[in-house]
Structure 1
């Protein structure tokens, strides 16, 4: 729904909204906000709310710290989980410099630049449909997160086995009150694991909705005495959490991935897009899978895609083409996980696909066999290589991919690589529980 400045000011007054959260995202995908009272709403919608950018990792230095929040008026929404008295609303914002120029380190700006490139190539809309998985865990007596769950449900099970069902239902109802169209929600295969999918929307709105969904899940879980986590692999020996990303491209209102007369009913544009994704998959993995822990999910099986390959139906491949065709034809990338910064991840995927289209790339042959059952010689024979196995390897691949570095821009690329390499080095120095169990007594 579109709003004008005047409408937002009127709604704040009529609904007796007391606080407005001016939300933005740092380069590592953490949601930030500046909270203002209702008396400041006129300043807010006129781009006059400022904050200290030097306090946000990867933003600005102390001597150039002032930055401005430019709210996306269409993002205005009231948080339905807040009480009727003392209502709280939010506005999702772009970050600007005091001179009125966009801040180069704003993740929304990174995605906006790639969407402009998409339009310059003649495409109207890039749609995404993400599938977010997460765990609901119990908390201890002090309210701290654990990895315990009394949940005994499995894939698609329902109560009474699914003890998180009521929280998941509450999340869906609250999100629909905020304008989401929830297509599906269900229990996943691991104890305590859940998935919520919303209807595809344009890329910017989709990235915004990913951040809102994560906030809603965490907030409502906490309200119900649970802890929600989007950590990719919180427990050894069970499935990790992914964020499969469905993508489609439109021109003159028509899905350009669909070609009724071709084999598999996929167009040359679709094949080129797939080829671009495969070409840059190793380069963008540090963005779609940004944590040390992300690689525990990718390397552990449980249908997590590890090898660069594609198929029209095979779920062991990195890229799958779901069965529906026509306006719903889409490319599903199965490697991303929900810890990613959605603006950077979506920008990287779109840029990779557009590169495939611009260069007229052709993907390798479709893989119909189970990739997990192949031995190394089979994969080599079929020219199937693996995604990076560690965050460090992924960061090296990102640094060597000129397109991905260009997508991020010098500022974001520099701070992202530096921050994530610091994370990797910190991980290397820590002593894990596995090491203690393996070596403490033996040696």
Structure 2
């Protein structure tokens, strides 16, 4: 969209540290000023966005994201600025932008298949469960698109008096919902025969080495861990494979532009800006340190004990949210990739959720123990 002709209002969209999308609307006449200087807003009004000293902040729309959405209304995705116009490092989108800038060409050519254009849609195994396959775009546009996609689906469902959920596992006896990323870098990672080249192998190795820390970003809720380790093609260990759908990473057998590195450890509750930043940092660390990639694991990992094997060694993914948060805090590469305030706010918020969950007495417990104890 090249102009605001016919537009009366612009919805400024942004995301908080927990991946929840928010928005405010301004008259179209103020849009150009917002692009140049930022639109003032009260940062203290939103969970996780600011300390008391940072309540006066600004939203700066990215003009490349401006799109008309109907009835005289347009939408643009924003970065969060401090009141004096500096990038605010506690903003998840700013964190991803910084990683992309720091990694240069590698990150700029990185794409993942979860974009805006729909390639395919089909019913999945669970009741009312659908998979949407979306086209490949760059990391910043991709993260913006995931937030927007969830908002649009929820709005359409609500208009039909229905409720769409992206909860990782809403039903105990049905498969959960994942968020899989098919990663590519133009002209890199793959040899002509479709196998991983040395850079590709090191990229995958980096993501596996940092897999436990990445779990705090990829599976950031207590419910996430009822999908992981559940079987049903959900990963449980930091291994890679070509065929095994229980692996954290699957490397396709395709050649050319269809070749990809599929990261299977995430679910839709993830903040896509923070997750993509973490995935890029982990892969780039593998490349920088020239990490060696362990052999692929095609075996069924259910009940498999790596301690009893000399040929297969791997780390199990975290069993719960606290385990994942501990792994993130102990990973210096991941910690150094993010602003300390952002990371502290994220971890404190998720710790509080885990503590609240532990204090709940569930219906299962009542049914099981009310008369047994």
Q: Distance in 1 between matches of 2:122 and 2:99?
A: 33
1:299 equivalent in alignment to 2:229: yes
Instruction: Give unpaired runs (5+ residues) of structure 2.
Output: none
Secondary structure of the residue aligned to 2:104 is: helix
Residue of structure 2 equivalent to 1:97: 82
Question: Is residue 115 from structure 1 mapped to residue 83 from structure 2 by the alignment?
Answer: no
Matched, 1:371 2:301: yes
Is the contact made by 1:260 and 1:266 (CA closer than 8 Å) also made in structure 2?
no
Please say if residues 58 and 105 of structure 1, whose CA atoms lie closer than 8 Å, have aligned partners that are also in contact. Answer: no
Higher mean Cα deviation, 319-328 or 215-224? Answer: 319-328
Would the aligned equivalents of 2:180 and 2:267 in 1 still touch at CA under 8 Å? yes
Distance in 1 between the 2:342 and 2:264 partners? Answer: 25
Q: Say which of 8, 13, 32 aligns to 2:3.
A: 8
**Contact 2:88-2:94 at 8 Å conserved across structures:** yes
Show structure 1 runs of 5+ residues with no match: 81-85, 132-179
Instruction: Give the deviation of 1:323 after TM superposition.
Output: 2.3
How far is 1:124 from its partner? Answer: 4.3
* Structure 2 equivalent of residue 427 of structure 1: 357
| Structure 2: distance between partners of 1:225 and 1:29 | 25
Contact 2:12 2:25 in 1 (8 A): yes
Give the secondary structure class of the aligned counterpart of 2:49: coil
Paired with 1:29 and 1:206, the residues of 2 have a C-alpha distance of 13
By how many angstroms is 1:378 displaced? Answer: 5.0
Are the counterparts in 1 of residues 114 and 137 from structure 2 also a CA contact under 8 Å?
no
Moved more, 71-80 or 335-344: 71-80
Q: CA RMSD in A?
A: 1.8
Count of residue correspondences: 373
Answer yes or no: is 1:207 the counterpart of 2:143.
yes
Deviations 1:61-116 (CA, angstroms, capped at 9, x unpaired): 22331111111111111225xxxxx4322110001112221001010111111111
Closer/same/farther in 2, CA of residues 42 and 112 from structure 1, 3 Å limit: closer
**1:72 match:** 62
Aligned-residue offset at 1:127: 0.6
Partner residue in 1 for 2:315: 385
Choose from 206, 209, 214 the match for 1:276.
206
2:109 pairs, out of 108, 121, 125, with 125
**C-alpha separation between the residues in 2 aligned to 1:369 and 1:407?**
34
Measure how far apart 1:35 and its partner are.
1.5
Contact 1:257 1:329 in 2 (8 A): no
Q: Distance in 2 between matches of 1:214 and 1:379?
A: 43
Q: Which residue of 1 aligns with 2:181?
A: 245
The Cα shift of 1:373 comes to 6.0
**Secondary structure at the counterpart of residue 337 of structure 2:** helix
CA distance in 2, matches of 1:94, 1:88: 20
Written as runs of structure 1 = structure 2, the 5 A alignment for 1:323-334 is 323-334=253-264
Report the CA distance shift for 1:128/1:311 in structure 2 as closer, same or farther (over 3 A): same
Pick the aligned partner of 1:194 from 127, 130, 133: 130
1:269-322: CA deviation from partner (whole Å, max 9, x where unpaired): 110001000000001101000000000110211110111111122212111012
TM score, norm. by length of structure 1: 0.80
Q: SS in structure 2 opposite 1:241?
A: coil
Equivalent of 1:353 in 272, 283, 305: 283
- Secondary structure of the 1:90 match is strand
Aligned residue for 2:152?
Answer: 216
Q: TM-score, normalised by structure 2?
A: 0.95
- How far apart are the structure 2 equivalents of 1:64 and 1:265? 49
Residue 401 of structure 1 aligns with which residue?
331
Aligned to 1:175: none
Q: Describe the shift of the 1:379–1:98 C-alpha distance in structure 2 as closer, same or farther (beyond 3 A).
A: farther
The range that moved more, 298-307 or 323-332, is: 323-332
User: Contact conserved, 2:66 with 2:75, CA < 8 A, in 1?
Assistant: yes
2:211 equivalent to 1:287: no
